[in-house]
Amino acid sequence: TTVLILNGPNLGRLGVREPEIYGHASMADLEREGARWGAELGLTVDVRQTDDESTLVGWLHEAVDSRAHVVLNPAAFTHYSYALRDAAAQVTTSGLLLVEVHLSNPASRESFRHYSVVAGIATGTVAGFGFDSYRLALAALAHKLED
């Protein structure tokens, strides 16, 4: 079972970008830890990041075509990209799991972060646990696959 951990814009700056909000771990740390957490859960994990909406949409199409589940941190696209939502909807409507993830808790931040266009089509959401949000999302996904 393969899980794509997909990350949107500015998340390549993790560790450098506003560490008081997003923590000190980097995308390279997520690549390494994600693979390790996945292996413990019996999942093959592929961690990717892009600043480009079209690339992210393409990866979601790839998930559908290759039958991979998805952990998605859409970053700022969360709040306004209907293209991303429509692509993410194809994942869940095709019977695959998609967990929306955020390092911070967007609900406790600026009002423009309170609405997610992705949440309504996601299997579920994990937010507010920093780097650990990704580990919790993978664990939740693995548990749900066992049902």
- Does 102 contact ligand DQA by CB under 6 A? yes
Beta bridge partners of 45: 3
User: Residues for the chain: how many in total?
Assistant: 147
Nearer to ligand DQA, 70 or 75 (CB): 75
- Encoding tokens for residue 30? 């997520």
- Does 116 contact ligand DQA by CB under 6 A? no
Least CB distance from residue 59 to ligand DQA, whole Å?
A: 16
Catalytic residue annotation: 22, 102
Single out the residue of 1, 2, 90, 104 in contact with ligand DQA (rule: CB under 6 A): 104
5: helix, strand or coil:
strand
- The response to whether 113 counts as a known ligand-binding position is yes
What secondary structure letter does DSSP report for 81? Answer: -
- The response to whether 11 counts as a known ligand-binding position is no
In contact, 46 and 3? CB cutoff 8 Å: yes
- The response to whether 103 counts as a known ligand-binding position is yes
Centroid of chain to Cα 89: 14
Centroid of chain to Cα 125: 9
Residue 103: name the closest of 58, 64, 134, 82 by CA.
Answer: 134
Nearer to ligand DQA, 111 or 147 (CB): 111
- The response to whether 66 counts as a known ligand-binding position is no
Single out the residue of 1, 2, 10, 92 in contact with ligand DQA (rule: CB under 6 A): 10
CA distance 43 to 5: 12
Residues that bind ligand DQA (CB under 6 A): 10, 73, 75-76, 78, 102-104, 106, 113
Binding positions are 73, 79, 86, 103-104, 113
Binding positions for substrate are 73, 79, 86, 103-104, 113
